[in-house]
Amino acid sequence: MNKFFEHNNFDSSFVAKYYNCSYLTPEQWEQERSPHVALGLFYLITGLPLHLLYFPVMWVITRPQFFKYPAFKILTFLGIIDFSTSFVSCEITAYLTIIGSVFCTDHPTIIYFIGAFGLAGWAASCFVNLILIFNRILDINFCFYLLIFYFLAVSWMFNPYYGINQTTFPFPDFYHNPLHTFNNIFAEMEALKRTMLIQLTVICIFNMISAFLYVIIANIPLGIWASVLGQIGWEFSHLIIVVLEKNQIHFSKVCDYYHSFNTSSLTLFHLFI
């Protein structure tokens, strides 16, 4: 991409060498046109509805009850990247497939920059997915203070000095385990975290599969079926977030109902917290 900006025009030796359209006449290039209407419509029909669903999904995951979690902040950033990149992987790809676009006859410079934008979006999406993985790893930690069988209580306690009154031990709050204390109170919250982990894992898997397919296609000639499969994988790697986040929309509706009709219960709940 930087080669295009080394000159004020697009007649550099780099462009002339690698993107030269003078090898064939315009008529000969036109003969290479191969429209795939059915496949283009498939890209559009499978991608456009999910693309439009970004609006309600983005509205939901930015709600306060979700956006307070770092993972949802990262998901919002990922959603912006995926939404923008999906214009390339979905609508533009569908249009170019339907008309059987040929690079050297259908505005090659515009197509080049669109491809550069799509590649940048893919790279950014993969990078944000790595951040999501790191975020989930930090969230799944085992830094909880374990149970100890204590003789004075004749049961299992977190505090090894429980029941000893001869002296005052420092750091009495050190052994407090909020995970244990509020386990039932935060049952739904923990379920939400588990759901988030599963969803983010699926998102990362789709990105990995798409990347793997394109690596194979770039090195091994497998035919058009492989490139179509790679394109579908790329399209859905940016759209799968919409499918997975449908649970958050349902959860948001439940929360709205809960906030509307159980204000007193919420107040009591916060008193315990």
How would you write the pLDDT of the chain (273 residues) with one tens digit per residue? 455 545 444 556 666 677 778 888 888 888 888 888 998 999 899 888 888 888 888 888 888 888 888 888 888 898 899 899 989 988 999 999 998 888 888 888 888 888 889 888 888 988 888 888 788 777 665 444 444 444 444 445 445 554 555 445 555 555 455 554 445 444 444 555 666 667 777 777 777 777 787 778 777 777 777 778 878 887 877 777 776 665 554 544 444 433 443 333 333 223 333
Q: What is the pLDDT of residue 41?
A: 93
Contact of 14 with 112, CB cutoff 8 Å:
no
Q: Three-state DSSP class for 102?
A: coil
Residues β-bridged to residue 148:
157
Q: What is the pLDDT of residue 196?
A: 67
223: left (phi over 0), alpha (psi -120 to 50) or beta: left
Q: What is the pLDDT of residue 81?
A: 92
Q: What is the pLDDT of residue 268?
A: 29
Q: What is the pLDDT of residue 259?
A: 43
Token pair, residue 6, equals: 């080394």
Which alpha helices (DSSP H) does the chain contain, by range? Answer: 13-18, 26-31, 37-52, 54-61, 64-67, 70-86, 93-99, 108-139, 178-181, 187-219, 224-244, 246-261, 263-272
Q: What is the pLDDT of residue 67?
A: 85
Q: What is the 3-state secondary structure (H, E, C) of 52-100?
A: HCHHHHHHHHCCHHHHCCHHHHHHHHHHHHHHHHHHHHHHHHHHHHHHC
Give the domain ranges of the chain.
Answer: 33-141+195-272
Contact of 233 with 213, CB cutoff 8 Å:
yes
Q: What is the pLDDT of residue 245?
A: 61
Q: What is the pLDDT of residue 219?
A: 79
Q: How far apart, in whole angstroms, are the C-alpha atoms of residue 154 and residue 156?
A: 7
Token pair, residue 252, equals: 């948001």
